[in-house]
Amino acid sequence: MNRTQEAFADFQQTAITDGGYLGRMQAVTNQENHLAEKLEIELKAVNARLKAARVNVSIRKSGKALQLRTTLPIKPGDIDKNSIGTKQYDISLGIPFNFDGLNTAEEEAHELGRLIARKQFQWNDKYLGKTRKKTTAKTIGDLITDFENNYFQTRKRTLRSENTFNSYRYIAQTHLPKDKLANNANFIEAVNCCNSSDSVKNELIKVIRVLCKCYGLEVPELSNLKIKPSSTRKRDIPTDAEIEQEYLKFETYAINRPSKLLTREDRNNWQLWRWVYGMLATYGLRPREIFLNPDLDWWLSPDNTMNTWRVNEECKTGEREALPLYPRWVETFNLKTDIEAIELLKAKIQNKVSTQQINSARHGTDRWFRFVGITFQPYDLRHAWAIRAHLMGIPIKAAADNLGHSVNMHTSIYQKWFSLENRKVAIEEAIKKKSKVQELQDMVIELQQENEKLRLENERLRLQTKNPELMQKIN
């Protein structure tokens, strides 16, 4: 384990419910703040060692880089204002402020200290910064080659962060010109020349920002740039009846599939993917949340009376317990009784520890939807869960927490697939509720009036019993 990852040993990530870019950046900021504290502690330790070794050089932080501070002969071209022949200088050697950089800076401090002690120091290209300027020009390919090492200099390496990085690296390798210099103009050109969808262009912009941040490069034109989608992709969200009907296609496929496929696919593999389908529909899970270290002992435990699914902490938005919106679907889709499917899941994920292996396992979800002829995408089941929760009157915060994302994402992203038919249902339900409320209010008023009549009649009878003469006069 390297020094950066050692520094994260005692780090506890605050729960992040936003699975989008802003949520990921918040998680990164939390990690960067933790790492900055550890680096400051190490910087003080390095300077303490230099002082104990009587090295007349200290190390200081300047922005995101380290400098050597010491007293040296007057630099060529500099003015000796005090006429003493020496001056305090901060020497920039292009050393980044990270653990590797601190090791390098400490070595450089000892080397410079020896030159000073032996009165052998001379201002050369290295200490004047000329050699550093000659080597700063890098190609985009150079940045991508060192991307992984630099990325995890400021982040804790986990399955979650590795998954994010792999998606960044794929986009960088696919859409960036590796032979061109890493400068503002070439990054902007790469975005403008990208022939993919607007969503991919926006992802590319994010990746360029992250890539440049790792190297301390500035790309001002991309700071607030976002490609506005030219058109909204249509998505057909399945109804509850359609979800239950499509579930049956897995067994239909198994019965009618060509026999030649049995040599390539496990004979009973369709049961696993039918079970996965049911889990996605019932809990609104992301496919990865089924395959990444699932707590199957808890799932099958008799103590799990509420049938919650425990999402692992290494998943996109951390750990949570998801509840079924329709508890009956747990039985309808045999989610706890299809032991053979659960055993197939165990075999599928056995010894899969890297993020690439886990992704490879869960990618079968899309493939099997196509195999059996499902008319929608796996993620549509998640969108359907969100819409169903809204129609049922589930509070937005509760629904968002169950899906493992922020309220903002729940309302701005998922609700955009709220179709005309769903709006009609929501409005009709609201009218029914309003009518019911009005009916109850009318009943309350009638009961209040009847109660008042009974109270007056009771008062009349009381007075008549107490003072019959007075009642005769009143009447």
- Structural element, H or E, at residue 18: none
Residue 76, both tokens: 């060529």
Task: Note the pTM of the prediction, 2 decimals.
Answer: 0.68
pLDDT at position 112, please?
95
Contact 235, 375 (CB under 8 A): no
Among 142-151, 225-234, 266-275, 352-361, the minimum mean pLDDT is found in: 225-234
Active-site option among 127, 151, 283, 414: 414
C-alpha dist (Å) from residue 209 to 22, 89, 341? 13, 33, 43
CB within 8 Å of 113: residues ≥ 6 apart: 50, 55, 56, 57, 70
User: 277, 236, 289: which is closest to 403 by C-alpha?
Assistant: 289
The single residue listed with the structure tokens 């329709």 is 326
Contact 168, 210 (CB under 8 A): yes
d(CA 427, CA 432): 9
pLDDT at position 430, please?
52
* Cβ density class 83-98: b for 16+ within 10 Å, e for less: eeeeeebebebebbbb
d(CA 193, CA 445): 69
Active-site option among 316, 362, 383, 390: 316
Contact 182, 139 (CB under 8 A): yes
Active-site option among 249, 383, 405, 410: 405
Q: pLDDT at residue 318 above 80? A: yes
The single residue listed with the structure tokens 């960036």 is 176
Active-site option among 156, 286, 320, 390: 286
Q: Which residue has the higher pLDDT, 148 or 316?
A: 148
pLDDT at position 405, please?
82
Tell me whether residue 286 is one of the annotated catalytic residues.
yes
- Hey, which of 215-224, 255-264, 265-274, 344-353 has the most confident mean pLDDT? 344-353
Contact 41, 344 (CB under 8 A): no
Read off the pLDDT of residues 231-255 as tens digits, 9 standing for 90 and up.
555 666 888 999 999 999 999 988 8
Q: pLDDT at residue 467 above 80? A: no
Give the burial class of 161: count Cβ atoms within 10 A of its Cβ; 0-12 exposed, 13-18 middle, 19 or more buried: buried
- In 10 A of CB 402, how many CB atoms? 22
pLDDT at position 263, please?
45
d(CA 407, CA 423): 20
CB within 8 Å of 13: residues ≥ 6 apart: 27, 30, 31, 156, 318
User: 14, 20, 25, 17: which is closest to 396 by C-alpha?
Assistant: 17
User: 111, 108, 425, 85: which is closest to 237 by C-alpha?
Assistant: 425
CB within 8 Å of 275: residues ≥ 6 apart: 333, 334, 335, 338, 341, 342, 344, 345
pLDDT at position 247, please?
95
The single residue listed with the structure tokens 């390539």 is 264
Residue 303, both tokens: 């103590």
Report the Cα–Cα distance between both ends of the chain, in Å, rounded.
101
Specify which residues 86 forms β-bridges with. 73
Contact 169, 146 (CB under 8 A): no
Read off the pLDDT of residues 194-220 as tens digits, 9 standing for 90 and up.
888 888 888 899 899 899 888 878 777
Phi/psi zone of residue 63: left (φ > 0), alpha (ψ -120 to 50 degrees), beta?
left
Read off the pLDDT of residues 4-31 as tens digits, 9 standing for 90 and up.
888 888 887 665 555 555 666 677 788 8
- In 10 A of CB 467, how many CB atoms? 12
d(CA 285, CA 216): 37
DSSP state of 232: P
Residue 215, both tokens: 């190297």
Q: Which residue has the higher pLDDT, 68 or 4?
A: 68
User: 223, 216, 221, 222: which is closest to 138 by C-alpha?
Assistant: 216
Taken in order 223, 224, 230, 234, is the CA torsion positive or negative?
A: positive
Tell me whether residue 414 is one of the annotated catalytic residues.
yes
Tell me whether residue 316 is one of the annotated catalytic residues.
yes
C-alpha dist (Å) from residue 26 to 33, 226, 470? 11, 19, 81
Q: Which residue has the higher pLDDT, 152 or 413?
A: 152
The single residue listed with the structure tokens 């001379």 is 122
Active-site option among 249, 288, 382, 390: 382
